[in-house]
Amino acid sequence: MTEDVLDQAEAWRREGRKVALATVVTTWGSSPRPVGSQLAVDGEGKFLGSVSGGCIEGAVIKEALAAIGDGKPRLLDFGVTNEQAWEVGLACGGKVQVFVEKLG
């Protein structure tokens, strides 16, 4: 079943939780989730949805928490050419760009 990440993120906001939204904006090669895939993160690091099928979620959540903190949007690059991406585990051979923004 397709879970609606944006609906969930909005519901979290209504409960007064701080929320950041991460969205896959560009993909190259065999990245596991298509453009538009989303991950919502709350102030405690609870998350829903996915931007990579598990490979880079940890790093994205860290940046999402930082965006909740300073309110600034971020554009993140992950890929085989990026050593940090190897460390966080995008071994699937693809490259993705993820936009992270604070919600509301």
Q: Which residues sit at the interface with other proteins, rule CB under 8 A?
A: 1-2, 6-7, 10, 13, 21, 23, 25-26, 35-36, 72-73, 75, 99, 101-104
CB closer to other proteins, 17 vs 89: 17
Min CB(2)–other proteins separation in Å: 5
3-state secondary structure of 79: coil
Q: What is the DSSP string of 15-44?
A: TT--EEEEEEEEEESS-SS-TT-EEEEETT
Min CB(91)–other proteins separation in Å: 25
- Distance, CA of 95 to chain centre: 14
